[in-house]
Homo-oligomer: A and B are copies of this chain.
Amino acid sequence: MRIGELARRTGVSERSLRYYEKQGLMTAERTPGGHREYGEGAVDRVIRIQELFAAGLCSEKIAQLLPCMRDSDGGPSRTANGQLVSDLTVERERIDRMIADLFRSREVLDEVIEAASVPAE
């Protein structure tokens, strides 16, 4: 599939897809004319990338992380080295804190929403 379809199917803009490639997060075959040609696996990969971005990881970390992931289709290709494991552990802790924060904030929102839905009292 080409970039337009991939964008449609993942909900990620073409601009971002090209950016991901430039950041080394994904590759694409090229047609003789230079247009990107993606395999089916690209969809999952893009979604995974988006999730990691949303989790606050930067391009660089994601780029290091991706080849160590057990991909849905293929093999795990690589094992993380010590430095990467150390970095990822830090990220993991950050994510834990973020989750805790989100729970608290969600609770706050719920209280306010709840209070508004019970005007009496």
Q: Which residues of A contact B (CB under 8 A)?
A: 48, 51-52, 54-55, 57, 65, 68-70, 76, 79-81, 84-85, 88-89, 91-92, 95-96, 98-99, 101-106, 108-113, 115-117, 119
Whether A79 contacts B119 by the Cβ 8 Å rule is: yes
Whether A54 contacts B101 by the Cβ 8 Å rule is: yes
In the complex, which of the residues B89, B106, B111 contacts A95, with contact meaning CB atoms closer than 8 Å? B106
In the complex, which of the residues B76, B92, B105, B111 contacts A52, with contact meaning CB atoms closer than 8 Å? B105
Whether B51 contacts A85 by the Cβ 8 Å rule is: no
List B contacts of A117 (CB < 8 A): 85
Quote the shortest CB–CB distance from A87 to chain B (angstroms): 10
Whether A80 contacts B48 by the Cβ 8 Å rule is: no
